[in-house]
């Protein structure tokens, strides 16, 4: 569409239909597009798959000049630009992957007004050369994609985004539209102040993804549980499996392949050519399972991802929401499945405790984790909890999450909690010994293991007082005490330690409500191990 430069505001719908081939705008799109075309600033909160791109692409085509899009998704710029060019939109990008010649060509096109959209990596804006370049062309608007990256409170802070603060001073007349799929109240406020968007309008769409079924299960044999899920409900489906570490990505992918499920690994330790190839295959072919660290997925637009499975606990609700949001962009029923256990809590608490960050950083990480744990341990509707976290009134229980479908029972765990806490008290306070959850549970169960005998732990008054619960149930109790902050972990060996709140339980001043994990039906899946 060379020369689509007229400023007739009625053009928006025409552009949508002629260029993008869609009959009408969806949800808030029309209002947003109109507002930006008229020169207004905007903050757009829309869930993944909501249709954020058109909110800046259409105004960029209608307004005179080039729409400058700042995006951290460097790996995807080529694809995005190719897709736009296929529609006849004159698009280009500038990032570190270009050769000198390629860069000069895009720069010349920009200056000569031969582009409709220019995608930029955020670090470009920290260079004076880029700023001088931008001053030589006419800019239709600035679109700041993944705007939550500007927030230090958020879960995905990128220092380069701070340079976006200056856009407004340099180009006060150019409208800016910031877009994100994840923002709590705190993140939203920070985006507004950092980008000086306070004069702008906010467009907040509902964050509900009704076609996604949320399920969080107790972690027992995670790989096998995953295989049961895939074989039982998602045979032949495309999906994403998230793991915390590169090693577990590799192992899980191998395990799935050995069991006849076509799976590919993706993590930052793989060669970039391998990563690109795997990503391209996942997007193009049907029924592939991508096993990945969270390095994978931002900006991936694959409509028919039928499930997102987490084998490890996400660090925040924002991360969980964003990752699970990659399922079911086409609106068809999809599964968000997470396996979660005691070890996850121990590991994450420990990672935060031993992190390099300052006190404020650790507090923030704790708060993020606590919210995630509360979602895992809730006995009420997951969707309601999720929406409330994003300050949206959750409404009635959804009827389509695991807690709605099989309501977990809650039980009075005060006595069980006291048993665990007094065991920890005796180990730490009376004997000054450092032990983790395993030993505490062995003591409660009255097991005469070598390690129990060696440390005389069969002499403790709590030895054998927990035979009424199984080992799995005790792990559940310890997990929930950690989740509720009634117990903490410390040091290299994840020693259990008491918290201030522990004494309220020990002193019978506080009751502890616990969640009884529903026992899933026993599976009969045969697995090939690898």
Q: Choose the stretch contacting ligand ADP; rule: CB under 6 A; options: 47-55, 205-213, 458-466, 516-524.
A: 47-55
| Sign (positive or negative) of CA dihedral 86, 90, 93, 98 | positive
Is 209 or 267 the residue whose CB approaches ligand ADP more closely? 209
CA atoms in the 13 A half-sphere facing the CB of 185 = 5
Residue of 32, 50, 321, 376 interacting with ligand ADP (CB under 6 A)? 50
The binder of 348, among ligand ADP, Zn ion, none, by C-beta within 5 to 8 A per type, is: none
Residue 52 lies near ligand ADP (rule: CB under 6 A): yes
Q: How far apart are CA 16 and CA 22, in angstroms?
A: 6
Binding site for Zn ion (CB under 5 A): 381, 383, 397-398, 401, 404
Q: Which residues of 409-437 are buried (b: 16+ CB within 10 A; e: fewer)?
A: eeeebeebbbbbbbbbbbbbeeeeebbeb
Cα gap 342→494, rounded to integer Å: 12
- The answer to whether residue 22 forms part of the interface with ligand ADP (CB under 6 A) is yes
In sequence order, the β-bridge partners of residue 93 are 119
Q: Considering the complex, what minimum distance in angstroms separates the CB of residue 456 from ligand ADP?
A: 59
Establish if 493 lies at the interface with ligand ADP (CB under 6 A): no
Candidate ranges 48-56, 121-129, 133-141, 448-456; the one touching ligand ADP (CB under 6 A): 48-56
> Do the Cβ atoms of 347 and 487 come closer than 8 Å?
no
14 near ligand ADP, rule: CB under 6 A: no
Distance, CA of 247 to chain centre: 20
d(CA 346, CA 530): 26
Does 54 participate in binding ligand ADP (rule CB under 6 A)? yes
CB of 25 to ligand ADP, least distance (A): 5
Find the binder of ligand ADP among 33, 46, 178, 477 (CB under 6 A).
Answer: 46
Rounded Cα distance, 59 and 68, in Å? 11
Output the residue with the shortest Cβ distance to ligand ADP. Answer: 51
By CB under 6 A, is residue 67 in contact with ligand ADP? no
Q: Angle CA(80)–CA(83)–CA(88) in degrees, nearest 5? A: 125
219 is a contact residue toward ligand ADP (CB under 6 A): no
- Per partner kind, with CB cut-offs from 5 to 8 A, the member of ligand ADP, Zn ion, none near residue 404 is Zn ion
> Which range of residues in 18-26, 230-238, 310-318, 400-408 is near ligand ADP by CB under 6 A?
18-26
Contact 60, 66 (CB under 8 A): yes
SS3 readout for 30-55:
HHHHHHHHCCCCEEEECCCCCCCHHH
Contact status: 53 vs ligand ADP (CB under 6 A): yes
307 binds ligand ADP (CB under 6 A): no
Name the residue with tokens 């998230």: 242
Binding of residue 79 to ligand ADP (CB under 6 A)? no
Task: Name the nearest CA neighbour of 425 among 522, 521, 497.
Answer: 497
**Residue in 333, 288, 339 with CA at minimum distance from that of residue 313:** 339
Tokens of 214: 């949320």
Give whichever of 275 and 383 is closer to Zn ion, judged by the CB atom.
Answer: 383
Of residues 58, 66, 7, 65, the one with CA closest to residue 31: 58
Residue 383's binding partner out of ligand ADP, Zn ion, none, with CB under 5 to 8 Å set by partner kind: Zn ion
21 vs 399 by CB, closer to ligand ADP:
21
514 binds, among Zn ion, ligand ADP, none (CB under 5 to 8 A by kind): none
Residue 401 binds which of ligand ADP, Zn ion, none (CB < 5-8 A, kind-dependent): Zn ion
CB-nearer residue toward ligand ADP: 25 or 474: 25
Pull the structure tokens for residue 435.
């032990």
Residue 398 binds which entry of ligand ADP, Zn ion, none, with Cβ cut-offs from 5 to 8 Å by kind?
Answer: Zn ion
Binding site for ligand ADP (CB under 6 A): 22, 25-26, 29, 46, 48-54, 301, 329
């Amino acid at each position: 569409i060379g020369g689509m430069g007229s400023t007739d505001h009625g053009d928006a719908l025409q552009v949508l239909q002629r260029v993008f081939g869609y009959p009408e705008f969806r949800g808030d799109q029309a209002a947003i597009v109109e507002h930006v075309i008229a020169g207004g600033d905007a903050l757009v909160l829309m869930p993944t798959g909501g249709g954020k791109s058109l909110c800046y692409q259409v105004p960029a085509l209608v307004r005179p000049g080039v729409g400058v899009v700042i995006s951290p998704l460097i790996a995807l710029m080529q694809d995005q630009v190719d897709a736009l060019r296929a529609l006849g939109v004159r698009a280009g990008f500038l990032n570190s992957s270009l050769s000198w010649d390629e860069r000069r060509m895009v720069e010349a096109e920009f200056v000569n007004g031969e582009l409709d959209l220019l995608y930029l990596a955020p670090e470009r804006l920290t260079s004076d050369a880029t700023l001088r370049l931008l001053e030589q062309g006419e800019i239709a608007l600035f679109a700041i994609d993944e705007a939550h990256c500007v927030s230090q409170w958020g879960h995905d802070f990128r220092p380069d985004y701070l340079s976006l603060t200056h856009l407004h001073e340099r180009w006060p007349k150019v409208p800016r539209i910031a877009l994100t799929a994840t923002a709590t109240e705190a993140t939203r406020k920070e985006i507004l102040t950092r980008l000086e968007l306070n004069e702008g309008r906010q467009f907040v769409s509902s964050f509900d993804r009704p076609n996604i079924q949320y399920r969080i299960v107790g972690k027992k044999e995670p790989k096998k549980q995953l295989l049961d899920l895939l074989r039982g409900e998602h045979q032949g489906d495309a999906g994403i499996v998230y793991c915390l570490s590169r090693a577990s990505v590799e192992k899980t992918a191998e395990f799935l392949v050995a069991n006849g499920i076509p799976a590919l690994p993706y993590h930052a330790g793989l060669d970039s050519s391998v990563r690109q190839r795997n990503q391209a295959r996942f997007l193009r072919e049907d029924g592939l399972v991508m096993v990945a660290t969270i390095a994978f997925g931002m900006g991936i637009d694959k409509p028919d991802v039928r499930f997102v499975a987490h084998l490890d606990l996400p660090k925040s609700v924002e991360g969980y929401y964003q990752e699970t949001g990659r399922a079911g962009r086409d609106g068809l029923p999809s599964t968000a499945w997470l396996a979660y256990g005691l070890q996850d809590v121990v590991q994450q608490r420990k990672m935060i405790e031993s992190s390099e960050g300052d006190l404020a950083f650790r507090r923030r990480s704790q708060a993020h984790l606590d919210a995630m744990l509360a979602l895992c341990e809730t006995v009420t509707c997951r969707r309601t909890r999720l929406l409330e976290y994003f300050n949206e009134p959750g409404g009635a229980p959804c009827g389509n999450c695991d807690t709605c479908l099989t309501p977990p029972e809650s039980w009075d765990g005060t006595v069980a909690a006291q048993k665990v806490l007094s065991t920890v008290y005796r180990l730490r306070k009376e004997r000054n010994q450092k032990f983790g959850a395993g030993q505490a549970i062995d003591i409660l169960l009255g097991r005469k293991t070598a390690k129990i005998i060696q440390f005389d732990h069969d002499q403790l008054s709590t030895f054998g007082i927990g035979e009424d619960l199984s080992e799995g149930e005790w792990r559940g109790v310890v997990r929930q005490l950690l989740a509720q902050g009634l117990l903490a972990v410390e040091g290299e060996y994840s020693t259990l330690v008491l918290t201030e709140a522990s004494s309220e339980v020990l002193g019978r001043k506080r009751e502890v409500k616990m969640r009884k994990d529903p026992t899933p039906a026993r599976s009969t899946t045969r697995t090939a191990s690898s």
